[in-house]
Amino acid sequence: MSLRARLRQGSILAAPGVYDAFSALMVERAGFEAAYLSGASVAYTRLGRPDIGLVTFPEMLGTISAISERVSIPVIVDADTGFGNALNTLRTVRELERAGAAAIQLEDQTFPKRCGHLDGKTVVPSAEMVGKLKAALDARRNAATLIVARTDAVATEGVEAALERSERYLEAGADVLFIEALRSQEEMRTATARFASRVPLLANMVEGGKTPLHSVQELQEIGYALAIFPGGTVRALAHALQAYFTTLRTDGGNARNMARMLDFHQLNDVIGTPAMMAVGRQYEASR
């Protein structure tokens, strides 16, 4: 089922954040129907740096290519600002779609952008963003590929201005609207009251961020069609690694860590080693 068709079903769709093929595989094995390739999470894990516009287009392209080869669930790709102007956006969308992206998210921040829940953001004129969205829509080859329009204007221009920008992005043809960093449930309900009957709305759940945390069931009641948890995977990983390395350094071994680990054989089962070895044996030379 395409992501577009799934969003039409009425029940909210949850998409955990991923940063590589392994994390996407774990999301798929957990039973989720979609994943969100987070630019922030790629910055955290690949660069060990914050989400301040350091991740490049080739890094995101290579990551979605590896993910698409490994999992079958649809993946929403964070394409930041399109990595440049409207011409850059044309190339960004074409190549991400070709690499397997089911949806491509573009935002109206200036470059270098930063995490939507950090202070100090700035946004481009709405007309410039409309041009990028039109370029994105012209660039896609498959009507099932969704274009997600994100505005960060709440922080710089206020809620009403962000809603007006969203109107313009919807008029330009955006398939999903993402109004970033709404600061209360009241603001969230204002957004859904205006748009939810016309277009799927995306909610971004950032642990410790500006938007209050809600469960997917609560977000559906508010009016959202899609909920992403972009950095939660890395935050959980960081917590687990802190505990793991602390114990390993203290004990000099992993006896106490074993209850919180997969052993060699269990991990190989997860990543499909036995099945791949079986495939390889089909191509071995006859003896």
3-state per-residue secondary structure call for 93-143 = HHHHHHCCCCEEEEECECCCCCCCCCCCCCECCHHHHHHHHHHHHHHCCCC
Report CA dihedral (205, 210, 213, 217) to the nearest 10 degrees.
Answer: -60
User: Looking up tokens 């074993």, which residue turns up?
Assistant: 258
pLDDT for 287: 57
Domain ranges of the chain: 3-231, 238-281
In eight-state DSSP terms, residue 20 is: S
**DSSP assigned state of 213:** P
Single-letter code of the amino acid located at 251: D
pLDDT at 273: 97
Q: Which CATH number fits domain 3-231: 3.30.565.10, 3.50.50.60, 3.30.465.10, 3.20.20.60?
A: 3.20.20.60
**CB-based contact 238:208 (threshold 8 Å):** no
Query: How many Å apart are CA 36 and CA 19, to the nearest integer?
Result: 8
pLDDT at 116: 87
Q: What is the pLDDT at residue 54?
A: 96
What residues have CB less than 8 Å from 37, skipping those under 6 apart? 17, 18, 19, 24, 60, 63, 64, 67, 75, 76, 77, 78, 101
- Contact between 260 and 234 under an 8 Å Cβ cutoff? The reply is no
Reference 167, options 130, 139, 137; nearest CA is: 130
Per residue of the chain (287 residues), give pLDDT as tens: 899 999 999 899 999 999 999 999 999 999 999 999 999 999 999 999 999 999 999 999 999 999 999 999 999 999 999 999 999 999 999 999 999 999 999 999 998 898 989 888 999 999 999 999 999 999 999 999 999 999 999 999 999 999 999 999 999 999 999 999 999 999 999 999 999 999 999 999 999 999 999 999 999 999 999 999 999 999 999 999 999 999 999 999 999 999 999 999 999 999 999 999 999 999 998 65
Q: What is the pLDDT of residue 253?
A: 98
Q: Which residues contact 220 (CB under 8 A, 6 or more apart)?
A: 11, 12
> Which pLDDT does position 235 carry in this prediction?
98
DSSP string, 163-212: HHHHHHHHHHT-SEEEETT--SHHHHHHHHHHHTTTS-EEEE--TTSSSP
Residue 74 identity? P
Full-model pTM: 0.96
Res 1: pLDDT: 82
